[in-house]
Structure 1
Amino acid sequence: MSSTVTGSKMRAILIVAITAISFVLSGCGGMKPYNGPEVTRILVYKEDRKMFLMHHDKVLKSYDIHLGFEPVGHKQYEGDGKTPEGSYLINRRNPNSDFYLSIGMSYPNTDDVQRARAVGKSAGGDIFIHGESPDPRYKNKKDWTWGCIAVTDKEMEEIYPMVNLGTVISVYP
């Protein structure tokens, strides 16, 4: 009879543990699932510091953005502080980013690599749309990334579930 009580207690503990874990995981980051129209394209206008999530020709959401610390012109090589211009794909997701959450761009493409090699440098990589910097020195800076596109952490919570892998991102001067 004591083994039945122990078995019942163990089952109860297991159910409580599973429920607690499920609760914690479901609330992770405060992200809500996205059930709206598909984001078919992302448009970024560097000069205006604006990013638009599009469903075909309709704007679903718009965001004010921060760019690389040298925002004018196309990224030439790693470390130049420029945000790439052109069309790329969203090709990865990083829920453990140093910048809260991030989604990666397919930079560099073949042309980007050739351009950098022509000046004896690496094209670099790791270009993302991401949240805020954990470094307070960048809190009120207009353009502070190494070439990425930054939004607030709260905005990244909206963007992250909305944008699927394979989404085209077009970055204009």
Structure 2
Amino acid sequence: MVRFARISSYALGLALLSGTAPGHGAGVAQAQQVDRLLIEKAARRITLFAASGAVVQVYQAIQLGWQPVGAKHFAGDGRTPEGHYRIDRGLENSAYHLALHVSYPSTGDRAFAADRGRDPGGAIFIHGQPNGMDRPAGDWTAGCIAVDNQQIEEIWSLVGDDTPVDIVP
């Protein structure tokens, strides 16, 4: 379920002007509940799916950790995780324009790192660009998935807590 508290003032303003109810993705042609996200690292793409399997929206040119090939295993490795996760909360006030927390590390991620005496890291988000800065070129995050600010506004308004996220190579 989309959390109404997570709709931005920008999207709310557009929704009120357009007559669209809050939480229905202002600027998105077909506002539907999003039931799954697929992040394809190599394709640099996020696809949002409805329960029916229909594509709700596709976002291209995403930015990843500075070491984009391979799964995240340890804190500071610069990699974006791969696996099955969930959006577990939104963070409206962060160093980036809106942020949706991805539930990394999973139990398996923790066990992998612990077996090697390492910290798996954490704080993986789908977020907009750094506040007060232009979009950096290339892959630059510490493991997060970055999109432009308009894209995160739409994603924020469509994706609720507990939404599954599959991150694939």
By the TM > 0.5 criterion, same fold? Answer: yes
Aligned-partner SS, 2:112: helix
CA distance in 2, matches of 1:134, 1:30: 15
Aligned-partner SS, 2:114: helix
Tell me the CA shift for residue 118 of structure 1: 2.3
CA distance in 2, matches of 1:131, 1:90: 15
Pair 1:54-2:49 in alignment: yes
Tell me the CA shift for residue 139 of structure 1: 2.7
The answer for unaligned runs of 5 or more in structure 1 is: 1-26
Tell me the CA shift for residue 114 of structure 1: 1.3
Q: Which has the higher contact order (CA 8 A, sep 6+)?
A: 2
Aligned amino acid, residue 146 of structure 1: A
Pair 1:117-2:114 in alignment: yes
CA distance in 2, matches of 1:112, 1:28: 32
Choose from 158, 168, 171 the match for 2:167.
171
The worse-fitting range, judged by mean Cα deviation, of 138-147 and 118-127 is 138-147
Which residue does 2:105 correspond to in 1? 108
Which residue does 1:34 correspond to in 2? 23
Pair 1:82-2:60 in alignment: no
CA distance in 2, matches of 1:97, 1:130: 9
Which residue does 1:145 correspond to in 2? 141
Larger helix proportion of the pair: 1
Contact 2:124–2:143 at 8 Å: present in 1 too?
A: yes
Deviant stretches of 4+, over 3 Å? none
- % identical equivalent positions: 39
| Pair 108,28 (structure 1): closer, same or farther in 2 beyond 3 Å | closer
Structure 2 length normalisation: TM-score?
A: 0.81
Larger Rg: 1
Tell me the CA shift for residue 142 of structure 1: 1.6
CA distance in 2, matches of 1:126, 1:140: 20
Which residue does 1:12 correspond to in 2? none
CA distance in 1, matches of 2:130, 2:47: 21
Structure 1 length normalisation: TM-score?
A: 0.79
CA distance in 2, matches of 1:85, 1:127: 11
The answer for unaligned runs of 5 or more in structure 2 is: 1-6, 13-21, 25-30
Tell me the CA shift for residue 135 of structure 1: 6.9
